[in-house]
Structure 1
Amino acid sequence: MTCPYCKAENADSALVCTSCSRDIAVPATLIAERDDLLRKRDQLRVELTQARDEIEAIMRRRKSR
């Protein structure tokens, strides 16, 4: 099992990471939920960047009038 915190490899039955000593007995559902939230966060960042670019383009057009 790979530690979700430090990415060190541990035995599949490990409850605590041998490298960073953090609890790695995280249910798979929580890991899947975290991954889903990270994907959504990344998508929102892309959408925010696009919105900012559109606003800047509108502001430039207004200034050029």
Structure 2
Amino acid sequence: MTCPYCRSESAEGALVCASCGRDIAVPATLLAERDDLLRKREELRDELRRARDEVEAIMKRRKSR
């Protein structure tokens, strides 16, 4: 695990950085929130991709008239 503050390597699962002494443990609630946000981001990316495809199809239909 890399310390987000001093960038030194600490043992996996460490609660405190061995180099700078700062807390580096991530609470499970934050990990769950991160996972939820990543899932939502993917859903939004998929929705955006579909919307772009739909707009592109509409623009092609307009040009062919």
Q: Give the TM-score of the pair, scaled to structure 2.
A: 0.69
Note if 1:62 corresponds to 2:50.
Answer: no
Name segments (4+ residues, structure 1) moved above 4 Å. Answer: none
Unaligned runs of 5+ in 2: 5-10
List gaps (5 residues or longer) in structure 1: none
Aligned length: 59
> CA 1:17 to 1:41, structure 2 compared with 1: closer, same or farther past 3 Å?
farther
Q: CA deviation at 1:33?
A: 0.1
TM-score between both structures, scaled by the size of structure 1: 0.69
Which residue of structure 1 aligns with residue 44 of structure 2? 44
Structure of greater Rg:
2
CA-atom RMSD in angstroms: 2.6
